[in-house]
Amino acid sequence: METTYAWEPRGEAGERTRMTLRNGAQRLRRTRRPPAITSAMRHAQSKDLARLKALLDQQV
């Protein structure tokens, strides 16, 4: 399973950022995904975002 994150500046002066998250398993319809895959994807996203938040907090 592959997760891709993309960022693009938003707002007049670029003071905001839009993050787009894309999973390699998105091709599967949500109703056809086994619960274990959905749970694993949610866990991986939460873990990635927590790690990203920690990195950004260190830079401040």
29: pLDDT strictly greater than 60: no
Average pLDDT, the chain: 79
Is 0.75 surpassed by the pTM of this model?
no
Q: Which domain holds residue 17?
A: 3-59
pLDDT of residue 19: 85
Query: How many domains is the chain built from?
Result: 1
pLDDT of residue 12: 81
- Report the distance separating Cα 22 and Cα 35, nearest Å: 18
pLDDT of residue 25: 59
